[in-house]
Structure 1
Amino acid sequence: MASSINGRNPSEIYKAQALLYKHIYAFIDSMSLKWTVEMNIPNIIHNHGKPISLSNLVSILQVPSSKCGNVQRIMRYLAHNGFFEIITNRESENDEEAYALTVASELLVKGSELCLAPMVECVLDPTLSGSYHEMKKWIYEEDLTLFGVTLGAGFWDFLEKNPSYNESFNEAMASDSKMINLALRDCDFVFEGLESIVDVGGGTGTTAKIICERFPKLKCVVFDRPQVVENLTESDNLTYVGGDMFKSIPNGDAVLLKWILHNWIDSDCIRILKKTKEAVTSDGKKGKVIIIDMVINEKEDENQITQVKLLMDVNMASLNGKERNENEWKKLFKEAGFHDYKISPLTGFLSLIEIYP
């Protein structure tokens, strides 16, 4: 029997090695996902109308014959991770493999109602994702965000100065909003009784448009940076207003903060929340603030959900933001002058929080 090392059983050490290697090469997960979006493979399979054979796929992709085996290996790995299903065609002479879409790859079909391909393209852009190579340098910088270290400007300033990245980011956020809109279809109770709502940081209005369609008597205001909302088309119950949420927020019966507060440190969140409180308590009214964000709950969530939330927490740290547990949210609400709140599940990892003055 092999001797123990540092008091550990050899099998434990081998498992630890496998864990290390899994994370050392984890970037291949992201790059393979980026590859399948860049190669338009989900759309190719979708347009094919049935599982597509490897030979047919590489023919459409027009890759050199020397790389066909590489395509097969990447597809095999993506299938193992749940992005495709491998089906053996028993009718073919050589039992050739064919690839079918799964729920995950259906979300990468461009032009579909629910498509997260823009999120893949934005987050995995080398300029942005490459910043994570400088985490050591960033951790010693007292005031700079990770992007401040690598790009010479904060993330929002960088977007403002680089229109192409700003467009990519807005498309990514719009694609994510469509996913949240799916969840909001079962949340009519949140909007019932409201006459007006202000979507702070609402981008190009993807979420607001869905709310307007579902509640045509509800007046929606999308409030975002001036360069985001300029020249956008308004309707009878949808308007756009440019401004700074740290200075003032348009008045309404409710204010919606979708994936906003996790971008900011606690002191900034309190400033934002105080402005939302002013907006929903104008003219003696007592409205509410609706927050769509994560609530870390390691004791009750499934391990995979907790892993996503903690992963996003590290990601938000790069912006000097954070994901929060219920106690941390409660503290923010109290310090901003709110007296009550209610948390409801929304998606697999997002919650809907209603807070009241």
Structure 2
Amino acid sequence: MSDAIKGNILTPEGWVHGEIAFGDRIAAIRGRGADPALNQDVYILPGFIDLHVHGGGGRDVMEGGDAVRTIAAVHAKHGTTSMLATTMTAPPEDIDLALKGIGAAAAQRGKGEARVLGAHLEGPFINSGKLGAQPPFARSAKLADVRKLEELAPLKLITVAPEIAGHLELVRELSDAGMRVQIGHTLGSYEDGVAALNHGAHGFTHLFNAMTGLHHREPGMVGAALAHARYAELIPDLLHVHPGAIRTALRCIPHLYCVTDSTSATGMPDGEYMLGRHTVMKCMGGVRLPDGTLAGSTLTMDQALRNLVGLGLTLADASARVSTYAADYLGLPERGRLAAGACADLVVLDRDLNLQAVYIEGELL
């Protein structure tokens, strides 16, 4: 069974005005290069890829069980075709419960769900002095600890504070084992960041947030990212990071990509929700702890795309930052691009960038 849709198709070589044919994978793209500004047809982009998802639809990844499936379905409705379910810092039994749920969802995609690629282990191997909205269960780790967790779910990303004793060696061991290591929730210095990158760290978790900032005599972890990183994730909800800081990062980090860091409050009315063991409040578009600390977001990837375009990025550039770069970061050449042989993950948007259709591995939501 195959489908075909027509419009302005964003390919790795640029825009094509024509038709894309697909089953569960893209069979062919037929047409010719054309500036999409010269017609009023829809835009057809690669499906969005979100590597930092805590929740949605009132459900939290840390609940375990079928929570991840509900979350994957909520985000699919906003154009996310694949994602990493993300843990919180928590006691070992809570993390085990969450990873079992992630493992089950990753083993088989359900109808109407985004593809769960695996887990982003955001905690607990972070600095207790830079928890942000994480509960106070941070601890150090050894490779054997991570290997045990890997038995429960595919660990695709691991956030580590490299300044913790033993963690620099852990970064090297994890990287050598083929895992992507990100620097985050850290009190580390510029020098700590550079050392972690030299030991195999690949990126930075929600750049600017929960890390030492940039000062001209103490560049901090932000300085290490801006000076040396090829990849970093950033939350473009315009609450977590000022537009000026986003523009700075865009000029410095060639493959800066966007995540939602979304919580159970995503897609839900204002009120109280759970984020791991924390109770958080959704109000006025944000999610906060009782003391006012930002605690994740209610961002969706379609809104992230619109926010980037609103900051002045071209649609093609914005698309890369909500899709292609994340796929490249995880080493997934079959996702994040519209090309023959790639997974048929795509979104159709109108001229105002509102979603018209979402296809996940050929399935129309």
After TM superposition, the score normalised by the length of structure 1 is: 0.24
Looking at secondary structure, tell me which structure has more helix per residue.
1
Give the structure with the larger strand fraction: 2
**Larger RCO, structures 1/2 (Cα 8 Å, 6+ apart):** 2
Q: Which has the larger radius of gyration?
A: 1
